[in-house]
């Protein structure tokens, strides 16, 4: 059985990979499990030095790494190179902060001494998507490995070359054999990987359907897991917003990475009094985006990653148009070869249309008009997803108050939603649970261990009789 990597800009086969045999899978798992026994005993300084070296490699080789990503999944080369840079930043962030994040915490009790330690769990299975083929992996790997865990990567099949490059990069940066391994297997093998006793925990970035399957399997085998799933982020524009800034950011927020981002703005909820002006400015900004070959440095929107994804996006758009949505720009696939779709903005969208109810993974934006601020918040929350979101208003104090009412893992006021190593990242509702990045991310895959040392030096609080 084989896996093909196909260039979405041309439809041509880039490479064909043989699926790992059971013996190869077993060897990778054993290597990661064996490496954990020694890796957990290394110092933070030793791990930090390796991640600093990895960061240097990523920056030095961003051009060739970017080209591989653009060929395999179609993002503009400038964004692919920026992804490598961001991975380097994340490596440096955890190299510099992990020891502080995981330092023992002294807690005063009746003991001579008592404290909390943060200890690694073991081998973390990373199930990762194709849309950010380097970032999604490094985002999970840097904190997990700095905490003393090891990792096995099962990547999306259409970015298999990126997956193999990641293993090679870790090895060439000096990481011990087995600390980071890649296995090339189809999605059907995921359950067996999770069930394997050598896997201690699972992290997934993927679809809602994948999240349900991974959570079910992980639960049956009592494996800790973190799910970062889909999103249909609201981009709320209130009556007092800076419309020029909001429209320019809206174009970037929706169409970067060819519109294929979980935290891309997707539902643009605009208060009626400024909706017409915003729609015009938004359409003008989006119309200037250059659709084309992702390897050209002036391209701003490339193809979606696969032809079936383009067709699914077109279904959502055409169904919504038949239900009454109005096309401001785009609205159809690109001409010629490749899985291109024109940057699209639909107005007159209602809550029963696919572009509102479903996650749209591609360059299509839905503009929904709200009667007022209260209605805008209601529309934003009327989604099964709750990953990120934007709020545009000149009244910052009101923005703070409204942010607390939004059902999302993050709210960005007068700016674009983006992941940042310094801030926790994750969602609520059908967007998943658990957090990545910051101190919260590195503590997801550790054993929070209590240590109590006697003898007793003071009386403990009285225990309730019922206990």
Positions annotated as catalytic residues are 228, 262
CA-based nearest residue to 364, from 292, 316, 431, 411: 316
Q: To 5 degrees, how large is the angle CA 304–CA 155–CA 435?
A: 95
Task: Tell me the C-alpha distance between 167 and 157, whole Å.
Answer: 15
Contact 390, 253 (CB under 8 A): yes
Task: Tell me the C-alpha distance between 351 and 383, whole Å.
Answer: 9
Question: No. of H helices and E strands in the chain?
Answer: 15, 20
CA-based nearest residue to 75, from 31, 134, 30, 121: 134
Q: What are phi and psi of 25, to 5 degrees?
A: -60, -45
Return the bridge partners of 412, or none: 390
The edge-to-edge listing of strands for the beta sheet with 265-271 is: 326-329, 344-347, 364-370, 265-271, 233-237, 389-392, 412-413
CA-based nearest residue to 247, from 219, 268, 264, 233: 268
**Joined tokens for residue 364:** 């299509």
Radius of gyration for the chain, computed over Cα atoms and rounded to the nearest angstrom = 23
CA-based nearest residue to 264, from 81, 138, 132, 69: 132
Hey, how many other C-beta atoms are within 10 angstroms of the C-beta on 303?
Answer: 30
**Joined tokens for residue 243:** 């419309």
Task: Tell me the C-alpha distance between 127 and 466, whole Å.
Answer: 45
Task: Tell me the C-alpha distance between 149 and 201, whole Å.
Answer: 10
Task: Tell me the C-alpha distance between 460 and 116, whole Å.
Answer: 18
CA-based nearest residue to 181, from 298, 43, 289, 34: 34
Query: Prior bond to 455 cis, omega within 30?
Result: yes
**Joined tokens for residue 348:** 């007159």
């Amino acid at each position: 059985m084989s896996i093909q990597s196909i260039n979405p800009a041309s439809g041509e086969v880039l490479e064909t990979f043989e699926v790992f045999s059971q013996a190869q899978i077993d060897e990778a798992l054993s290597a990661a499990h064996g490496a954990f026994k020694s890796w957990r005993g290394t110092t933070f300084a030793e791990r930090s030095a390796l991640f600093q070296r990895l960061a240097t490699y990523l920056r030095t080789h961003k051009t060739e790494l970017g080209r591989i990503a653009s060929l395999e999944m179609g993002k503009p080369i400038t964004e692919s190179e920026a992804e490598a840079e961001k991975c380097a930043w994340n490596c440096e962030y955890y190299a510099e902060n992990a020891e502080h994040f995981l330092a023992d915490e002294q807690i005063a009790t009746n003991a001579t001494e008592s404290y909390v330690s943060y200890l690694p769990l073991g081998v973390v299975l990373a199930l990762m998507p194709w849309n950010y083929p380097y970032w999604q992996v490094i985002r999970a790997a840097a904190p997990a490995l700095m905490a003393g865990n090891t990792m096995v990567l099962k990547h999306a099949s259409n970015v298999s070359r990126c997956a193999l490059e990641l293993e090679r990069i870790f090895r060439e940066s000096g990481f011990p054999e087995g600390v980071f391994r890649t296995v090339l297997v189809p999605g059907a093998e995921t359950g067996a990987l999770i069930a394997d006793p050598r896997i201690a925990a699972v992290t997934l970035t993927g679809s809602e359907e994948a999240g349900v399957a991974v959570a079910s399997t992980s639960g049956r085998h009592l494996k800790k897991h973190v799910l970062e799933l889909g999103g249909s982020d609201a981009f709320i524009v209130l009556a007092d917003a800076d419309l020029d800034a909001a429209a320019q950011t809206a174009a970037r927020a929706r169409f970067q990475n060819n519109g294929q981002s979980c935290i891309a703005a997707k539902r643009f909820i605009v208060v009626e009094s400024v909706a017409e002006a915003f729609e015009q400015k938004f359409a003008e900004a989006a119309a200037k985006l250059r659709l084309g070959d992702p390897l050209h440095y002036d391209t701003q929107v490339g193809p979606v990653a696969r032809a079936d994804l383009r067709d699914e996006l077109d279904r959502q758009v055409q169904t919504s148009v038949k239900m009454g949505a109005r096309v401001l720009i785009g609205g159809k696939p690109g001409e010629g070869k490749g899985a291109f779709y024109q940057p699209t903005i639909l107005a007159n969208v209602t809550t029963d249309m696919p572009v509102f109810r479903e996650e749209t993974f591609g360059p299509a934006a839905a503009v929904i008009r709200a009667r007022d601020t209260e209605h805008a918040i209601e529309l934003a929350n009327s989604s099964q997803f709750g990953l990120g979101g934007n709020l545009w208003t000149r009244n910052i104090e009101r923005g703070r108050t409204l942010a607390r009412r939004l059902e999302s893992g993050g709210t960005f006021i007068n700016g674009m939603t983006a992941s940042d190593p310094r801030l926790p990242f994750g969602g609520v509702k059908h967007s998943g649970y658990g957090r990545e990045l910051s101190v919260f991310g590195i503590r997801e895959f550790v054993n929070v261990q209590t240590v109590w040392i006697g003898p007793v030096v003071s009386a403990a609080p009285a225990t309730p009789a019922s206990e």
